Amino acid sequence: MQPMQDITPVIKVSYRHHGAYRAYNTCTIGYMGNSYDIPYAPGDMVHAFMFGIGTYTLSINQGKGYIGFNSYMGKEHHAINSVYLHGSQEIREKLGGYWESMEPTMIAAVLFDYLY
């Protein structure tokens, strides 16, 4: 099996205000003529990969304690499948105690197995 391939997409983050107190963040990545909407919060470190015919995004936010992994196919703008890990205990259960020293491609490869 080939490893996931790191890609460098165009990343555009937008902030929209709704009312006086709420701000909604959107992030769109573009790669090879396709664009994908990904969940985004300030502090997210976003990584993108190709594997087979799919495009995958990995968002890590250590400050808020979560990791999100999304899969996209073709021209579909929204994720067709996702896995989210919330809190240090769940992250350690899935990735191990030393996950913070793992390369993003390795984290993505592990989380790939949790996509249904």
Per-residue model confidence as pLDDT tens digits over 21-80: 556 577 888 888 888 888 888 888 999 998 888 899 999 999 999 999 999 998 888 899
- Amino acid in position 10: V
- Dihedral-angle region of residue 52 (phi above 0 means left; psi in -120 to 50 means alpha; beta otherwise): left
Would strands 22-31 and 34-38 be described as parallel, antiparallel, or unpaired?
antiparallel
The mean per-residue pLDDT over the stretch 2-25 comes to 71
pLDDT band at 112 (very low <50, low <70, confident <90, very high): very high
Instruction: Give the count of domains, the chain.
Output: 1
pLDDT at 13: 77
pLDDT at 18: 64
pLDDT at 37: 87
Strand ranges across the sheet with 45-51: 5-7, 45-51, 54-61, 66-73, 81-86
Q: What token pair was written down for 32? A: 């090879």
- In the predicted model, is pLDDT for residue 5 greater than 70? yes
How far is the C-alpha of 114 from the C-alpha of 81, rounded, in Å?
10
How far is the C-alpha of 91 from the C-alpha of 39, rounded, in Å?
18
